[in-house]
Structure 1
Amino acid sequence: MSAFVESLHEVFERLGRIQTRRMFGGHGVWHDGRMIALVFKDTLYLKADAESAEHFDKLSLPPFTYERQGKPMPMSYRQAPADLFEDRHEAALWGRRAYEAALRSGQPPKPKKPPAAKKAAARKTPAKKAAVKTKTLKATAR
């Protein structure tokens, strides 16, 4: 994970806990199960919608755009203002705007995985997996 992505935990400390995860060559940023931002090439883009667009428009902040079949495809994420990285109050304000836009989007929250499932999966060592595979092969050979 890049140092920039790691720094977002501190940037958004006044908003609350965030999670980051690699996706599509960048990173997604979640708060309370909702994707509020994405990071691509160390640039932060915040979730936006018709209600919050005016705040981005005032600062001429462009949308995240990717190319598909030779056509530019703008997404509902807009570049974050530079002040956000210097002022934790600004970061919380913009983070709340992005979270509210995510709530209004109608997308259901990302389900949380139970911690026990992660731990159980992590405990399976290659040796244990091989032993299970051997038992399975012996059982099917009978």
Structure 2
Amino acid sequence: MPTSAVYLDFIKEQFSDFGPVTVRRMFGGAGVFSDGLMFALIADETLYLKADSVSQSDFEAFNLPPFTYTAKGEKKIVMAYWRAPETCLDDRDEMTLWARKAFAAALRARKPAKIHKSLRKP
């Protein structure tokens, strides 16, 4: 089920204290970006935040599940996005705290820019 425009607007509003975000529709859901980095995922009217080995335990402490999908009808894929705590949807301060964790995970996961061949040292 595609995510509604109303829900996307609501999520953008909840992130307003964190800073400006861009929401881009993709694959029936949407990605949430800040400074060009995707740090949140919206699927089926559910918000998921980026996590890594540093922050995953914060999500596990609340028994929050990771985002999963089934590829090619059988294989279950687990992604590095975890369901946001329900408190984030009601409390902008809480959303800002979790958004900062998710953005930090996105920064850590960012791959270094490739250097063009012409700029490499011989």
What TM-score do you get using the length of structure 1 for normalisation? 0.73
Shift of 1:108: 6.0
**2:96 match:** 92
Q: How many residues align?
A: 109
**2:116 match:** none
In the alignment, the residues of structure 2 paired with residue 108 and residue 29 of structure 1 have an alpha-carbon distance, to the nearest angstrom, of: 21
Deviations 1:79-109 (A, max 9, x none): 0000001111100000000000000002469
Shift of 1:20: 0.3
In the alignment, the residues of structure 2 paired with residue 108 and residue 27 of structure 1 have an alpha-carbon distance, to the nearest angstrom, of: 24
Shift of 1:2: 1.8
Greater fraction of residues in strand: 2
Q: Return structure 1 stretches of 4+ with deviation > 4 angstroms.
A: none
Structure 2 counterparts to residues 53-72 of structure 1, below 5 A: 53-69=56-72, 70-72=74-76
- Listed as ranges, the gaps of 5+ residues in structure 2 are 114-122
**1:7 match:** 10
**2:21 match:** 18
1:78 paired residue among 60, 82, 86: 82
Deviations 1:12-69 (A, max 9, x none): 1110000001111110000111101111110000001010001100001101001113
In the alignment, the residues of structure 2 paired with residue 67 and residue 85 of structure 1 have an alpha-carbon distance, to the nearest angstrom, of: 27
Mark the structure with the bigger radius of gyration. Answer: 1
- Listed as ranges, the gaps of 5+ residues in structure 1 are 110-142
Greater fraction of residues in helix: 1
SS at match of 1:38: strand
SS at match of 2:101: helix
SS at match of 1:13: coil
- The sequence identity of aligned pairs, in percent, is 44
SS at match of 1:45: strand
